[in-house]
Amino acid sequence: MSTYKAPVDDIRFVLFDVLHADAAFQRLGFTDATRDILDAVMDEGARFCETVLAPLNAVGDQAGCTLDKASGQVTTPPGFKEAYAEYAAGGWAGLSSPTAFGGQGLPHAAGVPIKEMIDAANLSWGNFPLLSHGATEALLHHGEDWQREAFLKPLVEGRWTGTMCLTEPHCGSDLGLLKTRAEPRDDGSYAITGTKIFITAGEHDFTDNIVHLVLARLPGAPAGSKGISLFVVPKVQVDRQGAMGEANAVRCASLEHKMGIHGSATCVLNFDGAQGHLVGQPHKGLMGMFTMMNSARLAVGLQGLGLSDRALQNALRYSRERLQMRALSGPREPDKAADPIIVHPDVRRMLMTCKALVEGGRAMAYHSALLLDEAHGDVDDEAARQSADALLGFMTPIVKACLTEWSVECTYHALQCFGGHGYIAEHGMEQLARDARITTLYEGTTGIQALDLLGRKVIQLQGAGLKVMLAMIESFCAGHAGDERLAPFVAPLAEKAAEWQRLTTGVAKAAAGNADEIGAAAFDYLMYSGYVALAYWWARSVAAADASPQPESFKQDKRDTARFYFARILPRAGMHAAAIESGLASLPELGGA
């Protein structure tokens, strides 16, 4: 069975030494987010995840969720419901939600470490409260006053949970094809009719109500995505005063049988004239849904990070204990029958790859959460707010796609370290590999993220966020130009930043002649962007380590990992650059029936 230990030391290093988040929180008006408070939150979050959630990870995988088809009720794995009750009682559901609705009012970046810990400890369980945050954000920014009063308080307090209902059997990411109908009722509500699939936590036994945010079409709505509206449809009807009434006409028809995340209820929901309420303006539903989706995309990136870290922890422990063969250079532990496998360079290659992607990815992800606070915090500098928002939009698909693609790689490497023992269920590594695979798919596949990054954030928005990122790199390189300790990182980083700009210009020119050039370059452009962004964060981490009060062994560990990243992983960017430059011509159309 795999185990989990929350990496609180490295989390604190990223938050406070690299990002100086505690000072940023005070500047942004989060006066309660002091270092003492944040430390206490992380310590208690670590305790909850290590002792309550982590032991249930294998339980959820083995038991799964069950559906009583007669009642439409879902029973979650043993211990899951009780863990959620403790989670809600501890105030975790509203950690970064407004105090006006019962939340703790902490910044988003303060909640991110807890989210990472939850996902590492028990990804399936973490899916149940996952979309409550997105539903809260959608109602907060797009809902009517009575909707905020009726729905936000129980969501923030954890008494109810939320979902996001987009996908239908005939349409996945192409929401313009959806058919769910919303018919006006005399009382101002709407009758919602249709079928939604792949609905995470669409039905469960944690709470007595579930708040579904549903996309549907009004009568006479324009065709395509311009005719989509957003509705709040609770499992149990709720009046304008927030009182619960009769059961709504929404029912779980089946549970999906999945490759992984068996402990998470992934539902087919049938809406049969269910009472719903319009959120926002008619035909403008995608605005509210993208508020949820962008929040969820960052959250799924954290899922990938958490899984990678847990896989690394277990592979590192096993590699130090497992005796197998002798080191090629001679016995390292001659008093034993064989050497531990960590002496073998290829095992260290796999472990160091995971370590570099996890620790660098943590800085990249946490910075994006801080950008969310900077874009919406209590500051008067509108230029700074717009800059943060542009960079956040640019980084969101990178964080989502790269951290999840890397989670597939890291869980593979970790399983490989176990050899055949990794393939059997006993050590829990195959569960991590199975669970990781979904993270590249839901909330938009890697291909969808790539098109969003290159097609919208770069081409359509004229690279507003990229310009901010390149300016950050230029400023860092200029500020450390004479620092000998950072010389191995600054020069390669500056070169890659220049290449990044050149590649972007080349794709934009090619796309002006043929828009398919965007699709041809998108995946490689996204991965290239992720590797260069991670190089920046590793260079920043080394600089922060040099100036931090951490022990010298900790600092040296960061320098060594950064050198490994620049020497062995950053060169992957060159492969992606070559693929980008090969253009559409290198992708022949596949003939045949």
Residue partners of 131: CB distance under 8 A and separation at least 6: 161, 162, 163, 164, 200, 201, 292, 296
| Among 41, 39, 33, residue whose Cα is nearest residue 9 | 39
Residue 230 · residue 279 · CB < 8 Å = yes
Contacts by residues 488-496 (CB-CB < 8 Å, ≥ 24 positions apart):
488/563, 488/566, 489/535, 489/538, 489/539, 489/542, 489/562, 489/566, 490/539, 492/535, 492/566, 492/570, 493/532, 493/535, 493/536, 493/539, 496/532, 496/535, 496/570, 496/573
Alpha helices in 379-463 (DSSP H): 382-417, 420-423, 429-439, 446-451
Whats the size of the chain, residue-wise? 593
Whole-number Å distance between alpha carbons of 131 and 292: 8
Catalytic residue among 443, 495, 552, 589: 443
Residue 528 · residue 577 · CB < 8 Å = yes
Q: Give bridge partners of residue 266 from the DSSP assignment.
A: 200
| Among 188, 119, 127, 195, residue whose Cα is nearest residue 161 | 127
First CA to last CA distance, the chain:
47
H-run or E-run covering 61: helix 57-63
Active site residue 443: yes
Angle at 327 between CA 324 and CA 330, to 5 degrees: 130
Residue partners of 210: CB distance under 8 A and separation at least 6: 160, 161, 162, 163, 201, 202, 203, 204, 234, 235
Place of tokens 């926002």: 280
Structure-token pair, residue 91: 């105030």
Count other Cβ atoms within 10 Å, centred on residue 143: 24
| Among 220, 308, 311, 224, residue whose Cα is nearest residue 2 | 311
Whole-number Å distance between alpha carbons of 522 and 173: 17
Amino acid identity at 213: L
Write the DSSP symbol of residue 76. Answer: P
Between strands 66-68 and 73-75, the pairing is: antiparallel
- Catalytic machinery residues: 443
